[in-house]
Amino acid sequence: MSPHEVTYEVVFYVDENGTKPVAVFLRSLANNPNLADRIKSAIRRLEDGRWHRQPETKSLGSGLYEVRVLGSDGARVLFFYSAQRLVVVVHAFQKKSQKIPEREFMTALERKRQHQQRAEVQGA
């Protein structure tokens, strides 16, 4: 079976304080409900393996991937795969340039590292 023919469980990264930064970001878009809805839709599509290929998703390196939310008010959702068929959404932001800003990439990478570190401790 192809990895594109399976379903995935999608979860939001939770920081050490119990906060879900992506959920906080989505709530911050109260003045732009259309963009928030498009981002939520993109995240829901990650449950379907058929969306796990270009042009819908793209590898950024270091185990991170992006989902593009297109439009004049576009956004990016960054995620990684954790365990079998689990997608962890670690970061989302409005994107104004072609290239992902280094700060945004590093934020996602640090959240990935923290998630994996906590998972190791819990599994030990």
- pLDDT 10s digits, 4-58: 578 999 999 999 999 999 999 999 999 999 999 999 999 999 998 887 878 788 9
Distance CA 90, CA 105 (A): 10
**In the chain, how many H helices and how many E strands?**
3, 5
Distance CA 55, CA 21 (A): 25
CATH class of 3-123: alpha beta
pTM above 0.85, yes or no: yes
Nearest to 111 by CA among 121, 119, 123, 101: 119
- pLDDT 10s digits, 71-124: 888 899 999 998 778 999 999 999 877 788 999 999 999 999 999 998 888 764
| SS3 call for 68 | strand
User: Which residues are CB-contacts of 67 (< 8 A; sequence separation ≥ 6)?
Assistant: 42, 43, 45, 46, 51, 56, 57, 76, 77, 79
Task: Domain ranges for the chain, please list them.
Answer: 3-123
